[in-house]
Amino acid sequence: MHLFAILVFSMETQKRIFVIILSLAIVGAAFLSGTWLGYSSRSQVERVLSVVGKDSPQDLKEVDFDPFWKAWRLVEEKHSGDNPIDRQKLVWGAIEGMVASLGDPYTVFFPPKDHEDFQSEIKGEFSGIGAEIGIRKEILTIIAPLKGSPAERAGLKAGDKILKIDDVFTNDLTLDEAVHKIRGERGTKVTLIISRSKEDKPRTIEVTRDLIRVPVIDAEQKEGGIFVIHLFNFSQNSESEFKGAVQQFVKSGSKKLVLDLRNNPGGYLDASVLIASWFVPEGEVVAREEFRDREPIIYRSVGFKLLEHVPTVVLVNQGSASASEILAGALQEHKKAILMGEKTFGKGSVQEVEEVTGNTSIKITIARWTTPNGKSISKEGLQPDVEVKIPDDANAREGQDVQLEKAIEYLKSH
């Protein structure tokens, strides 16, 4: 009896142990299953464990970044191309794509090499062909060749549409990509296929790159008491250079002025406001800066007065853009000058350069410029008071400048 009791007890004990083990197994399986489900359903950013600085700002919490991080994870897990993954380049590429999605050719991200090139450009010295380019009606277009530049010597003109850069069609290039394909080391060549107004067939122009030094101003006295100031751009030195040209004008005894803004692609807003101040009375509006979500900034004349009553013709063409259009628009609307030439380019957006990291930056459109009367420069450009188009045979005679001749003729007769 005693032995039988022991055997029965042992069998009961084994059953209990088995039940306990089975229960623990079920609980453990449920725990592991829940853990796996939680792991697999966590946000994509949590699954990219090697990324730092991945928390989004509080004001972007409503934006779903999971698709971005899933794409990143898929690249990390599955990409097997010839080149290894460079995570920093992935970041730069993501920012470039974000900026490109705005559809604004003047908002650009500069990764390290591009940032370095841009810094050289704004200092006024870089290697390239010496032409300002932009996007007009979704086509890459020469805004203006700089005076004395390889582009000018090769025969490029304002308004030329660039169809190909070497062997690359430009229709799928961003403005920034096009600029970098055109630029290059001094002495190297770039071939441009361009389309020119009134020409049936595209033409091929080969340009030898050179060191570009951006000119500022040129001045000369003409017969009949007429003085010509040709302003090539609006740099940090433009206002002081213009002041020097005004002094030459006064010393020359001239009584009338031609201000030549043709092929001037613009530059610093402050420079255009200060130059306008030589013509426009103190306190009068020179330009308005319109923002998306705040009150506009009004730029007013300082009132230098010296040229306020000087008969003036301002020459413009489709290479006159940005700050050129601000100055020309202010003088036109305040009736301080006659605009002569061709319709201007129509680039009235304001860009600001912000540092992203120590060696990268973003140039971003923050506002739009309008004339004193509120006309949008970007939408309309400026229409001259007296239209003077360059005839097809304008280059028949060496050194002929039809538009300048018309400006001088106008001033002599008025």
If asked whether residues 201 and 237 sit together in one domain, one would say: no
Q: Residue 69's closest CA among 83, 51, 89, 93? A: 51
Euclidean distance between CA atoms 233 and 261, whole angstroms: 8
Specify the pLDDT at position 395. Answer: 47
> DSSP string of 136-176?
ETTEEEEEEEPTTSHHHHHT--TT-EEEEETTEESTT--HH
Q: Which residues face 103 on adjacent strands?
A: none
- With tokens 């994870």, the residue in question is 73
Q: What is the mean pLDDT of residues 367-386?
A: 92
| Whole-number Cα distances in Å, 383 to 138, 319, 368 | 21, 13, 19
Under DSSP, the state recorded for 60 is G
- With tokens 């751009």, the residue in question is 233
Digit-coded pLDDT (tens) for 182-238: 988 899 999 999 999 888 899 999 999 998 877 789 999 999 999 999 999 898 889
Domain total in the chain:
2
Domain boundary pick from 189, 213, 237: 213
Euclidean distance between CA atoms 204 and 90, whole angstroms: 37
* H/E segment holding residue 61: none
- Contact yes or no for 267/322 (Cβ under 8 A): yes
Specify the pLDDT at position 237. Answer: 87
Q: Evaluate if residue 55 carries a pLDDT over 80.
A: no
Task: Return the structure tokens found at 391.
Answer: 């005839």
- Contact yes or no for 306/246 (Cβ under 8 A): yes
Average pLDDT, the chain: 85
Q: Is residue 285 part of a domain?
A: yes
Q: Is residue 61 part of a domain?
A: no
pLDDT bin (cut points 50, 70, 90) of residue 121 is low
Sheet holding 338-341, edge to edge: 217-222, 226-231, 256-260, 312-316, 338-341, 386-387
Q: How far apart are the first and last CA of the chain?
A: 140
Of 6-15, 314-323, 350-359, highest mean pLDDT: 314-323
If asked whether residues 330 and 226 sit together in one domain, one would say: yes
Q: What is the mean pLDDT of residues 372-397?
A: 81
Task: Return the structure tokens found at 61.
Answer: 């919490």
If asked whether residues 228 and 363 sit together in one domain, one would say: yes
Q: Is residue 118 part of a domain?
A: no
Q: What is the mean pLDDT of residues 359-371?
A: 92
Digit-coded pLDDT (tens) for 62-97: 788 889 999 999 999 999 888 889 999 999 999 999
Specify the pLDDT at position 56. Answer: 61
pLDDT bin (cut points 50, 70, 90) of residue 32 is very low
pLDDT bin (cut points 50, 70, 90) of residue 61 is low
- Contact yes or no for 232/216 (Cβ under 8 A): yes
Specify the pLDDT at position 124. Answer: 53
Q: Evaluate if residue 7 carries a pLDDT over 50.
A: no
Q: Is residue 258 part of a domain?
A: yes
Specify the pLDDT at position 394. Answer: 46
164 lies in which domain range?
Answer: 126-213
- With tokens 């000018």, the residue in question is 152
Burial of 144 (0-12, 13-18, 19+ CB in 10 A): buried
What's the count of helices (H) and strands (E) in the chain, helices before strands?
12, 19
pTM, entire model:
0.69
Q: Is residue 70 part of a domain?
A: no
Specify the pLDDT at position 22. Answer: 52
Q: Evaluate if residue 48 carries a pLDDT over 60.
A: no
Q: Evaluate if residue 14 carries a pLDDT over 70.
A: no
Euclidean distance between CA atoms 95 and 69, whole angstroms: 14
If asked whether residues 295 and 382 sit together in one domain, one would say: yes
Domain boundary pick from 180, 213, 246: 213
Q: What is the mean pLDDT of residues 3-11?
A: 42
Q: What are phi and psi of 141, to 5 degrees?
A: -135, 140
The CATH code of the domain that includes 197 is: 2.30.42.10
Task: Return the structure tokens found at 23.
Answer: 């229960």
Q: What is the mean pLDDT of residues 143-169?
A: 92
224: left (phi over 0), alpha (psi -120 to 50) or beta: left
Q: Evaluate if residue 335 carries a pLDDT over 80.
A: yes
Q: Is residue 263 part of a domain?
A: yes
Q: What are phi and psi of 212, to 5 degrees?
A: -105, 120
Q: What is the mean pLDDT of residues 141-160?
A: 90
If asked whether residues 134 and 244 sit together in one domain, one would say: no
Q: What is the mean pLDDT of residues 229-252?
A: 94
If asked whether residues 256 and 300 sit together in one domain, one would say: yes
If asked whether residues 225 and 371 sit together in one domain, one would say: yes
Burial of 14 (0-12, 13-18, 19+ CB in 10 A): exposed
Specify the pLDDT at position 8. Answer: 40
Task: Classify 309 as helix, strand or coil.
Answer: coil
Q: Is residue 302 part of a domain?
A: yes
If asked whether residues 246 and 355 sit together in one domain, one would say: yes
The CATH code of the domain that includes 358 is: 3.90.226.10
More confidently predicted of 49 and 389: 389
Q: What is the mean pLDDT of residues 12-23?
A: 55
Report the length, in residues, of the chain: 414
> DSSP string of 365-404?
EEEEEE-TT--BHHHH----SEE-PPPTTTTSSTT--HHH
Q: What is the mean pLDDT of residues 4-32?
A: 50
If asked whether residues 365 and 384 sit together in one domain, one would say: yes
Q: Is residue 295 part of a domain?
A: yes
Q: Evaluate if residue 396 carries a pLDDT over 50.
A: no
If asked whether residues 136 and 160 sit together in one domain, one would say: yes
SS3 content of the chain, % helix, strand, coil (to 5): 35, 25, 40
Domain boundary pick from 175, 196, 213: 213
If asked whether residues 364 and 331 sit together in one domain, one would say: yes
If asked whether residues 249 and 205 sit together in one domain, one would say: no
Specify the pLDDT at position 197. Answer: 85
